[in-house]
Amino acid sequence: MKAKDIMTSNVITVKADDTIENVTNLLLEHNISGVPVVDDEKKVIGIVSETDLIYKDKNINIPAYFPFLGGYILLESMKKFEKQLKKMAGYKVEDIMSEKVITINENKEIREVVNTMLNNNINRIPVVNDDEKVVGIIARSDVLRNI
């Protein structure tokens, strides 16, 4: 059995310039926990999950520093702080989406889908065709239904 045999082919996607409000409404309306973010060619460029949406309520971690010769030396990455700040203040999907997305080809065996999900601790995986365009999505519940 292949990924295309168990995937949900009517996949809901969003664009990077969609609003966070729109994504939140989609998740609630369709009772789903995440959606792929696609470009104009339907290629996956990110993913937004409930975790990304509730990140706004997280406490921000200000980088540790110590004074040295009239200046400050940061002990942590300023880039990490900037990324956290942007995610917390985000208005558009591109501000909060996770850009490192694991996808799987529609012709891969289900055991490879399961291994990929478990090894990467992910709840859903976008399914793509040979042109890297999204054609479906597999959630853990899809796998369970087919065991």
Q: Domains of the chain: which residue ranges?
A: 3-58+90-145
Alpha-carbon distance of 142 to 147, in angstroms, equals: 9
- Condensed to tens digits (0 to 9), the pLDDT of residues 84-120 reads 555 555 568 888 888 889 999 999 999 999 999 999 9
Type of residue found at 39: D
pLDDT > 70 fraction of the chain, expressed in percent and rounded? 75
Rounded Cα distance, 85 and 72, in Å: 20
CB 13 within 8 A of CB 134: yes
Which pLDDT score, from 0 to 100, does residue 58 have? Answer: 47
Task: Please tell me the pTM assigned to this model.
Answer: 0.74
CATH 3.10.580.10 assigned to 3-58+90-145: yes
Instruction: List the one residue out of 53, 51, 46, 28 whose CA is nearest residue 126.
Output: 46
